[in-house]
A and B are shown apart, each in its own frame.
Chain A
């Protein structure tokens, strides 16, 4: 599925059901997300974050899919969905506590924004999304769960188990694969011999492949999947084709396994440039507004930096505070030993 060609011209119906206001919101989030992503890489270089996994090039896949979700829908992310988190209203400083080494998982309140803990064990969150979807269905809610994974995650057993369970139970879930071409150093062609979206048929659910750098197409594909799930017609597998412009993380040296020329070629498919071109040509936004978005993005990145560097290391009590609801006496003894 594609609506916007890389040059910003349309190859499909651009009326995906988003008002001009929402389209501007999408562009703004993409610009803000990229700016914050670059700020995070700088913060890591300056020692303010530990390892940081960038997502440049995946802004359309993340913002487009996130905008298709309702307030009650629940996101089960990987560690690379900062743009989704921003759209969901997750506090960016709290989110980045994770990458600052302040706390694990979801230092924000995952229930308040319905954005689950950052999940590193590959594909394990797929099953959580499916369980959550089964659970809300039992309560008669029409809420939907969405699991984000990468192309590499589709090789994991938990991806298969989650997909199979979702289909068997007709769970209101969306399995959203961002195929960014790379699982650290392994290209998709060495990860899987087939096409990921086509596996859906074997599971007994619809599968769709979408241009992941086309925010309109991503929005439409996700909105259709969410609608299907909401009305009780079960899960959908979406494969969004995108490209990881940066390295796997700040600890990675992508030059060891891919050519810079490939990355430069991929930049021609940039999701923000394409959408901005179309928005300007359509008169949905003007240059002044885009400049204002960029200014907002700078200010936002600055405020996140400020909030983050002000964060002191957490108290050592935190190691003990949430291991159990009520600490057993055997752990209390250790707590006293550790804290003196």
Chain B
């Protein structure tokens, strides 16, 4: 296994290194998708991989999202582990039938006889002034599908860790990459260590309330927590990381310890992750809650054009206001 020393990493670079190391460590791993080989991906996440591992293991496909996901299923029957890229969030939709009917269900459909070690990488969410169909939050579609795991990192080092875990997982993992966090840098060593899938992380401690987020919203929650701290409100910040399976133990602990929960996500509010978190917290720790769970989310509208996206996305101010509301309830 590759050893990496302390360095500065962007998420793009960390993901690229994770793919490189996974291809190196396991010769059954394949990387394919649209523009991933010659170009190295539209975000350069797969840059250099074809040169390093050859066109049999890293290859471009026709524009064919259902074909890409379906081919990964057939390749799994033949013992290959596919890491495929859907170029953008909304472009993953043509593959939904394959993902829901086969990728997610094939283990069940074969009574456990065939593993589906497939990772579906999807550059996701908004915040980069993209065109329409380039800023969507598709997580609920996948989280609602039994048989899939769904993860999303918020930082470069965790992106490396989560992608390594996703690739060795015998079950299919939908890997949502927050485009808005692709380029900011983080200093540290890339390590394939714990925590893996299914475990959330506390990134900032506090006892006044807990801000629960994932993807690019984690950083906004950390900023909101700084603002709140200036007013003497110490907010805990949780990065869910794993949207399915959810870390129920962590949610329960935060509800018990802080009594106040604010869920933050870019996706529309209705049936978003916030609904699930609120319901779980209520089931697990109702007697400990000091305020209703608050949701600071995108609106129930199609993702807006670039000039309006900051009016759609939860801002640091909206998050801080949500926290103040639950604290003063």
- Residues of A at under 8 Å CB distance from B? 74, 76, 103-107, 109-111, 116-117, 121, 124, 126-136, 138-139, 145, 157-158, 161-162, 164-165, 168, 318, 321-325, 328-331, 333
A161 in contact with B75 given A105-B105, A121-B101, A322-B107 (CB within 8 Å): no
Q: In this complex, what residue of B is CB-closest to A314?
A: B111
Additional A-B contacts beyond A105-B105, A328-B245 (9; CB < 8 A): A104-B105, A106-B109, A127-B70, A128-B73, A130-B70, A131-B75, A161-B66, A321-B112, A322-B111
Chain A to chain B: the 5 pairs with minimum beta-carbon distance, closest first: A131-B74, A105-B109, A127-B70, A135-B78, A131-B71
Which residues of the other chain, A, contact B246 by a CB distance below 8 angstroms?
330
Contacts of B70 in A (CB 8 A): 124, 126-128, 130-131, 158, 161-162
- Name B residues whose Cβ lies closer than 8 Å to a Cβ of A: 56, 61-62, 64, 66-67, 69-80, 94, 97-98, 101-102, 105-115, 146-147, 149, 169-171, 198, 245-246, 248-249
Among B73, B109, B169, contact of A131 (Cβ-Cβ < 8 Å): B73
Query: How many angstroms between the C-alpha atoms of A119 and B11 in the bound complex?
Result: 39
A127 touches B73 (CB 8 A): yes
Distance of B100 from chain A, by nearest CB (Å): 9
A-side contacts of B80, CB under 8 Å: 135, 138
- Shortest distance from the beta carbon of B31 to any chain A beta carbon, whole Å: 13
- Within the complex, the shortest CB–CB distance from B232 to chain A, in Å, comes to 36
User: In the complex the two chains form, what is the Cα distance from A164 to B66 in whole Å?
Assistant: 12
**Is the Cβ of A130 less than 8 Å from the Cβ of B109?**
no
Q: Which of A104, A128, A165 contacts B77 (CB 8 A)?
A: A128
Contact call B67/A110, Cβ cutoff below 8 A: no
Task: Please tell me if the beta carbons of B109 and A324 are within 8 angstroms of each other in the complex.
Answer: no
Residues in A with CB closer than 8 Å to B115 are 325
Closest to A97 in B: B111
* B71 and A127 within 8 A (CB): yes
27 A-B pairs, CB-CB below 8 angstroms?
Answer: A104-B108, A104-B109, A105-B106, A105-B110, A105-B111, A106-B111, A106-B113, A110-B110, A111-B113, A116-B77, A121-B101, A124-B98, A127-B74, A127-B98, A130-B67, A131-B78, A134-B78, A138-B80, A139-B78, A139-B79, A158-B70, A165-B64, A165-B71, A324-B149, A325-B115, A330-B248, A331-B245
Tell me the bound Cα distance from A331 to B108 in angstroms: 14
Chain A min CB distance to B169 (Å): 8
Q: Is the CB of A106 within 8 A of B110?
A: yes
Considering only CB atoms, which chain B residue lies closest to A332 in the complex? B245
Nearest chain-A residue to B59 (Cβ)? A169
Q: Which residues of B contact A331 (CB under 8 A)?
A: 245
B82 nearest CB neighbor, chain A only: A131
- Whether the pair B62, A168 counts as a contact (CB closer than 8 A) is yes
Cβ-defined contact, B77 with A135, below 8 A: yes
Which of chain B's residues has its CB closest to A147's CB? B74
- The reply to whether A324 and B107 form a contact with Cβ atoms under 8 Å apart is yes
Q: Are B107 and A325 in contact (CB under 8 A)?
A: yes
Residue of A nearest to B67 (CB): A161
A21 to chain B, nearest CB (A): 32
Whether A323 contacts B74 by the Cβ 8 Å rule is no
Cα–Cα distance between A164 and B63 once the two chains are bound (Å): 10
Q: Which residues of B contact A322 (CB under 8 A)?
A: 107-108, 110-112
Known: A127-B67, A131-B72, A164-B62. A103 touches B111 (CB 8 A): yes
Contact B62 A117 (CB under 8 A): no
CB distance from A165 to the nearest CB of B (A): 5
Question: In the complex, what residues of A have CB within 8 A of residue B77's CB?
Answer: 74, 110-111, 116, 128, 131-132, 135
Q: Are A145 and B74 in contact (CB under 8 A)?
A: yes
Residues of A within 8 A of B101 (CB): 121, 124
A162 / chain B contacts, CB cutoff of 8 Å: 67, 70
Residues in A whose Cβ lies below 8 Å from that of B61 = 165, 168
Q: Do the beta carbons of A161 and B78 come within 8 Å of each other?
A: no
CB-defined contacts of A324 to chain B, threshold 8 Å:
107, 147, 149, 171
Taken together as a complex, chains A and B put the C-alpha atoms of A330 and B198 apart, in Å, by 9
B56 touches A105 (CB 8 A): no
Determine whether the beta carbon of A135 is less than 8 Å from that of B79. Answer: yes
Assembly CA distance A103 to B110 (angstroms): 9
Known: A124-B98, A128-B77. A323 touches B114 (CB 8 A): no
**Minimum C-beta distance from A325 to chain B (A):** 4
Q: Among the listed B69, B102, B113, which residue makes an inter-chain contact with A110, where contact means beta carbons less than 8 Å apart?
A: B113
- Given A157-B94, A324-B107; A132-B114 close (CB under 8 Å): no
Most chain B beta carbons < 10 A, residue from A109, A127, A130 = A127
* Contact A323 to B107, CB < 8 A, known contacts A128-B70, A134-B74: yes
Question: Which residues of A have CB within 8 Å of B76?
Answer: 131
Nearest CB on A from B203, distance (A): 22
**Chain A residues within 8 Å of B149, by CB:** 324
| Residue in A111, A134, A138 whose beta carbon sits within 8 Å of that of B114 in the complex | A111
- Closest B residue by C-beta to A110: B110
Residues in B with CB closer than 8 Å to A333 are 248
B42 to chain A, nearest CB (A): 20
B75 near A325 with CB under 8 A, answer: no
Chain B residues whose CB sits within 8 angstroms of the CB of A168 once the complex forms? 61-62
